[in-house]
Structure 1
Amino acid sequence: MEQMHREKRAEFEAVRAKLFALVYRMLGSRAEAEDVVQDAWLKWHVADASKLRSSGAWLTTITTRLAIDRLRHLQIERATRSGGWMPDPWIEGLAPSAEDLALRAVQMSYGVMLLLERLKPEERAAFVLHEAFECDYAEIAKILAKTPANCRQMVHRAKERLQRQGVPAKRADPAAHARIVERLRAAMEAQDRVGLVRLFCDVPSVISDAPETVDAVATADQIATTLSMRGPGDQMETVSMNGMSAVAWMRNGEVDALLDISIGEDERIVALRIVTGALRLAPATRVFGRAAIMRLLQPVSSQAASVTMRGHFPVDIDA
């Protein structure tokens, strides 16, 4: 019996990171994803594995269905909140975890994750499984207990709806995106208001978890004025956020805000997403805040009198 439990634990751990990546894409919450994956483990623990044709397929199916049920409740809760809701940003650590690597393998930008909230739970599941995990419609049909034709229609509708909301038909070029993010970081660091104005289109959209800026529309001039208001101890850093470059606004050694952008065909910024919630920013501070950097530098502190890092922390910005 003990040997069987060890084998089941090993089978689950082999796919745990993939399951977490799936649920995180579904729910936009790290804590909720952990809870759903734990629920999947409890169901797997009592399941009769000898009757299953594929343990991986069974776990994917049960986890997706648990995520759909959880998402139905979450969307009702989020709709009643007075402030803005945004997904938890994912900042990859210096030593990537299994979850980091799984998320890197199924990249989905932060902007797309935000807009996924507007899809119905089953529609979102079908879209994530097809677009991020490359499941075919027959596989999705088994997971959702629908026909392949129905699943194809759901994914098609989801794509059309997302494109109407501003998701481009093709993924942005990571190199071009990273180049604009670096220009944004440098202009903010230098408090270059004119340079900031030039980076944005005339009327970009601004979305934030701060209540006063939810789905706001501002001119490039207004945004530039706000982003150039840098305090004496503030510092701007480039980080990898959900697989794309973003700007971290550091204040007193902690992350005060994360800025994620979308660029148009002319490489001007058409959308700005600002994450300011303390709970959402806490994992980012743990990854590259002052305490994390001091821990990183401690082994070499005796070999150098001082170390200065400006502009970039040693984070993989091309993940």
Structure 2
Amino acid sequence: MDQTEQGKPAQFEAVRAKLFALAYRMLGSRAEAEDIVQDAWLKWHAADASELRSSVAWLTTVTTRLAIDRLRHLQMERATHSGGWLPDPWLDGLAPSAEDLALRAVQMSYGVMLLLERLKPEERAAFVLHEAFDCDYAEIAKILAKTPAHCRQIVHRAKTRLQREGVPAKRADPAAHARIVERLRAAMEAQDRLALVRLFCEVPSVVSDAPELVDAVASAEQVAATLAMRSNGDQTETVSMNGASAVALMRDGEVDTLLDISIGEDERIVALRIVTGALRLAPATRVFGRAAILRLLQPISSEAASVTMRGHLPVDIDA
């Protein structure tokens, strides 16, 4: 094995987090993204390194094309999903991994991730590469085997369609968004239905992987009643989800529900995404649940610190 071949594992690991972030943005699934990155590694391992001019460009191209092929099959499956489909939420970890840090660098809101499902696979690839990874049209053209002018048209059409579907021309002010999320969390914790009603526009858009929740809401009053019932007995927490503030409902130290919102110009909630699926929430529990926090506190505890528990999470440390 020559020196070029010996360096291939290190070259792959150097861009692995970026490849994972790209595959996740393309597929909306952590498990599928992991499979795509593994497939990219197998192709990279088999490739002749001496013939590769740029490892990063080669791996980005392979990962994108693998994701496009996989997305074609996934979109057909998701179109017939009886329970409704939502992207896997991504919670920023208490102790960020390389993948967490890579995703923070290419933030794309959960609402946009959901609407990306409306795009064709090549449209989604061009949009993600241009908007999230700052690739120019010449780079995208090489990846998709098209002309730069054609790629420009694809991205323009994708932006137009997403805006028509509800993606705002510009992202809401993060401070305003975080303020409304905290008010939502506080109102749910207090079981204050009137405060909840006031937070929403008259007829908010509601999407969930639980059909019974969508069927139950059509007005601000119905949303308020549903959220109050859903949060009864749960601990409410504010978390960072896909780069923006969101509400997590915790029960017995595990994430039970995630709530992602979009706000309008008047700072009322115009769209609500409710994630309840146990498999989809399992990764969120691993990074934010009781066990994750206790693991994070373990070095402190090992130095004879005492941890006081209140409810489900540790809240007081007496070193």
TM-based fold match above 0.5: yes
Aligned-partner SS, 2:94: coil
Partner SS state of residue 169, structure 1:
coil
- State the distance in 2 between where 1:289 and 1:27 align: 25
**Which segments of 5 or more consecutive residues in structure 2 lack a partner in the other structure?**
none
| AA partner of residue 60 (structure 2) | T
Residue equivalent to 2:111:
111
Deviation track 1:148-201 (CA, whole Å, cap 9, x = no partner) reads 111111111101110111000111111111111011001100111111111100
TM-superposed CA distance for 1:95, in Å, is: 1.1
TM-score, normalised to structure 2, is 0.93
Residues in 2 aligned to 1:73 and 1:94: alpha-carbon distance in whole angstroms: 34
Distance (Å, rounded) in 2 between the aligned partners of 1:86 and 1:230: 19
Tell me the CA shift for residue 297 of structure 1.
3.5
Matched position secondary structure for 1:203? strand
Residue 99 of structure 1: aligned partner: 99
Q: Is the 8 A contact 1:288 1:313 kept in 2?
A: no
CA, structure 1 residues 231+59, in 2 after alignment: closer, same or farther (shift >3 Å)? closer
CA change 1:288–1:152 in 2 (3 A) is: same
TM-score (norm 1): 0.93
Aligned pairs for 1:127-276 within 5 A: 127-214=127-214, 218-229=218-229, 233-276=233-276
**Residues 1:313 and 1:274: Cα distance change in structure 2 (over 3 Å):** farther
Q: For the structure 1 residues 278 and 168, does the alpha-carbon distance in structure 2 shift closer, same or farther, using more than 3 Å as the test?
A: same
Return 304-313 or 30-39, whichever deviates more. Answer: 304-313
Shift in CA distance, 231/243, structure 1 to aligned 2, threshold 3 Å: closer
Judging changes above 3 Å, is the alpha-carbon distance between structure 1 residues 231 and 249 closer, same or farther for their aligned structure 2 residues? closer
With over 3 angstroms needed to count, the CA separation of the structure-2 counterparts of 1:64 and 1:312, relative to structure 1, is: farther
Distance 1:214 1:227, change over 3 A: closer
| CA pair 214-305 structure 1, distance change in 2 beyond 3 A | closer
Q: Is the 8 A contact 2:239 2:247 kept in 1?
A: yes
Identity of aligned residues (%): 82
How far apart are the structure 2 equivalents of 1:298 and 1:283?
A: 20
* Structure 1 Cα separation of the partners of residues 46 and 52 of structure 2: 13
Q: Distance in 2 between matches of 1:163 and 1:54?
A: 35
Q: Offset of 1:298 from its aligned partner? A: 4.1
CA contact (8 A) 1:108 1:242 kept: yes
Residue aligning to 1:317: none
Contact 1:238 1:311 in 2 (8 A): no
Note the alpha carbon deviations across 1:250-303, whole angstroms, 9 max, x for none: 112211100000000111000000000000000111112122223333444543
SS of residue paired to 2:150: helix
What secondary structure, in the 3-state scheme, does the structure 1 residue paired with 2:89 have?
A: coil
Q: Note if contact 1:189-1:230 (Cα within 8 Å) is conserved in structure 2.
A: no
**Counterpart-to-counterpart distance in 2, 1:272 and 1:205:** 6
Q: Which moved more, 1:171-180 or 1:257-266?
A: 171-180
Residue of structure 1 aligned with 2:306, choices 304, 307, 310: 304
Q: Secondary structure at the match of 2:15?
A: helix
Q: In the alignment, residue 181 of structure 1 is paired with which amino acid?
A: V
d(CA) in 1 for partners of 2:292, 2:246? 19
Instruction: Quote the RMSD (CA, aligned, Å).
Output: 2.1
The 1:232/1:216 distance shift into structure 2, 3 A limit, reads closer
Matched to 1:306, the amino acid is T
1:80: Cα distance to partner? 1.6
Q: Partner letter of residue 51 of structure 1?
A: E
In the TM superposition, residue 82 of structure 1 has moved relative to its aligned partner by 1.0
Deviations 1:85-131 (A, max 9, x none): 11000112111111000000000000000000010000000000000
Q: Which secondary structure state, in structure 1, belongs to the residue aligned with residue 229 of structure 2?
A: coil
Name stretches of at least 5 consecutive residues in structure 1 with no aligned partner: 315-319
Kindly provide the amino acid, as one letter, of the partner of residue 204 in structure 2.
P
